[in-house]
């Protein structure tokens, strides 16, 4: 059974992440929002600190361990409770995103691809790729939310895989040291043949075509990558190279069970930042927010604040549940999608409503509210859109397959 009170070791780790957000991220947030594609040099020191904390086992931000390094061995006994890499990573992502989600996504060696490696890599691969900065390349020009529509190919040639294709919207695609690429080893076999490959930055045939200009998270680079006869070692395919038609591509999809709660945490962090700023603005304006008075008997702005705060709390608890289930080796595909859907929708709702309620000061660049409104939208889109998450939840709840419910 999940315990909603965070253990001492996680509270200490989350507090460290909050200090980073408050003292490093917030002061430079506007600078790198205006200086799009400029590398945040302040994060080099941050990278060294994170690396040291990861080595000591006291802190995880990306979830790169996937809980494998935890001493506890979770069992089916409901009396046992493990809070490992996923929960730690979720809380740290939440706190650092409270500071600046674009900078959080730019922390060296803490990419979304690291969580992907943790989800499907063998123990040997996890050891070999444990110190890389991995971004994740899934989306292509011909598809967005339908991850099964991958057209990038991987052909085995002796001791090397040869990859060909184009990937778009790759977060940290220019800065990362490695890219986790989704490709098909046999397109005639459909989605079952989709595998994930770890491609080093210096692999022959890999190039950055361009960087995207975006609405938000401008501190984070988003790249278009070209794979033209790109060669990587044979053992850089994550997990088993065998194509199991019965299993489909559940192996690579397991990646999302790790990363979707992480993205939910990012949205929750931005949501909390906006709520805290809005509370200050309303209080300074003489608007009292009461928890003892029914919302319909309060100022309209106070009633809206209470509604949004309730949504924030529910999103937070859903994300905690998804991460806790992952740490305790419980299937969490449904809960991961529920947390991502709720947090993404709540983030855009709360940040934009906060801009509205703050009036002219909320729309100006005097505060970070308008920036959070822009940043939050991507958190409802990447790692699976709002609509895709609702579709996944519906399939799980109704017991339908992807072919039966599209």
pLDDT tens-digit profile of 123-166?
899 899 988 999 999 999 998 777 778 999 999 999 999 999 99
Report the distance separating Cα 18 and Cα 187, nearest Å.
Answer: 45
For residue 79, pLDDT beyond 60:
no
Would you say the pTM of this structure is higher than 0.75? yes
What pLDDT was estimated at residue 115? 81
Could you list the beta-strand ranges (E) of 158-214.
160-171, 178-184, 194-200, 206-211
CA 273 to mean position of chain CA atoms = 18
Q: Average the pLDDT over each of 41-45, 92-96, 242-246, 396-400 and give the range with the smallest value.
A: 242-246
Q: How far is CA 23 from CA 32, 61, 206, 217, 367, in A?
A: 15, 17, 37, 19, 17
φ, ψ dihedrals at 38, nearest 5°? -80, 130
Give the pLDDT of residue 397. 96
The single residue of 36, 140, 383, 404 carrying the catalytic annotation is: 383
Identify the band that residue 77 occupies on the pLDDT scale cut at 50, 70 and 90: very low
Q: Please report where in the chains the tokens 């006869």 appear, as a residue.
A: 229
What is the C-alpha to C-alpha distance for residues 256 and 338, in angstroms, rounded to an integer? 12
Quick: pLDDT tens for 316-370. 999 999 999 998 989 999 999 999 999 999 999 999 999 999 999 999 999 999 9
Confidence of residue 177 (pLDDT cuts 50, 70, 90): very high
Q: What is the dihedral of CA 210, 378, 263, 219, to 10 degrees?
A: 50
Q: In which residue are the tokens 């039966």 written?
A: 404
Inter-axis angle of helices 8-20 and 85-99, to 10 degrees? 30
Q: CA-CA distance, 93 to 394, in Å (whole number)?
A: 27
Both tokens of 298, joined, read 């309060």
Share of the chain above pLDDT 90, in %: 70
144 within 8 A of 130, measured Cβ to Cβ: no
Please report the beta strands in 32-157, taking only residues with DSSP state E, as ranges in sequence order. Answer: 134-137, 153-157
- Range ranked top by mean pLDDT from 11-15, 205-209, 327-331: 205-209
Retrieve residue 364's tokens: 């100006």
Q: Which residue, among 182, 188, 193, has the nearest Cα to 243 in the 3D structure?
A: 193
5 is catalytic: no
Residue 257 has pLDDT above 70, yes or no: yes
**pLDDT higher for 49 or 106?**
106
Query: Angle at the Cα of 330 (from 394 to 313), degrees rounded to 5?
Result: 65
What is the predicted pLDDT for the residue at 51?
63
Span 303-322, average pLDDT: 97
Cα 345 from Cα 355, distance rounded (Å): 16
Reading the block at residue 45, the tokens are 């020191």
């Amino acid at each position: 059974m999940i315990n909603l009170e965070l253990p001492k070791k996680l509270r200490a780790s989350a507090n460290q992440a909050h200090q980073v957000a408050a003292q490093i991220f917030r002061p430079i947030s506007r600078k790198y929002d205006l200086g799009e594609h400029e590398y945040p040099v302040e994060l080099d020191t941050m990278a060294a600190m994170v690396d040291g904390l990861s080595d000591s086992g006291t802190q995880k931000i990306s979830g790169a361990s996937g809980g494998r390094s935890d001493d506890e061995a979770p069992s089916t006994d409901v009396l046992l409770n493990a809070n490992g890499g996923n929960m730690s990573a979720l809380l740290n992502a939440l706190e650092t995103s409270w500071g600046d989600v674009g900078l959080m996504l730019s922390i060296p060696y803490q990419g979304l691809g690291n969580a992907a490696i943790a989800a499907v890599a063998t123990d040997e691969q996890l050891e070999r790729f444990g110190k890389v900065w991995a971004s994740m390349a899934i989306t292509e020009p011909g598809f967005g939310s339908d991850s099964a529509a991958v057209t990038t190919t991987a052909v085995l040639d002796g001791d090397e895989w040869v990859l060909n294709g184009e990937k778009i919207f790759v977060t940290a695609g220019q800065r990362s040291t490695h890219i986790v690429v989704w490709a098909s080893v046999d397109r005639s076999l459909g989605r079952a043949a989709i595998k994930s490959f770890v491609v080093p930055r210096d692999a022959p045939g890999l190039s950055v075509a361009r960087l995207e200009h975006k609405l938000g998270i401008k501190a984070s680079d988003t790249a278009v990558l070209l794979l033209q006869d790109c060669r990587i070692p044979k053992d850089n395919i994550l997990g088993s190279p065998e194509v199991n038609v019965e299993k489909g591509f559940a192996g690579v999809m397991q990646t999302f069970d790790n990363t979707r709660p992480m993205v939910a945490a990012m949205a929750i962090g931005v949501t909390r930042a906006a709520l805290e700023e809005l509370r200050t603005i309303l209080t300074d304006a003489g608007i009292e927010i009461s928890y003892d008075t029914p919302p319909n008997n309060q100022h309209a702005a106070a009633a809206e604040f209470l509604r949004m705060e309730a949504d924030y709390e529910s999103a937070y608890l859903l994300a905690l549940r998804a991460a806790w289930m992952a740490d305790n080796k419980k299937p969490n595909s449904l809960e991961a999608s529920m947390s991502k859907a709720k947090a993404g929708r709540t983030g855009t709702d709360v940040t934009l409503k906060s801009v509205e309620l703050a009036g002219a000061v909320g729309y100006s660049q005097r505060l970070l509210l308008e920036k959070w409104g822009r940043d939050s939208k991507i958190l409802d889109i990447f790692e699976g859109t709002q609509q895709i998450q609702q579709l996944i939840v519906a399939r799980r709840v109704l017991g339908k397959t992807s072919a039966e419910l599209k």
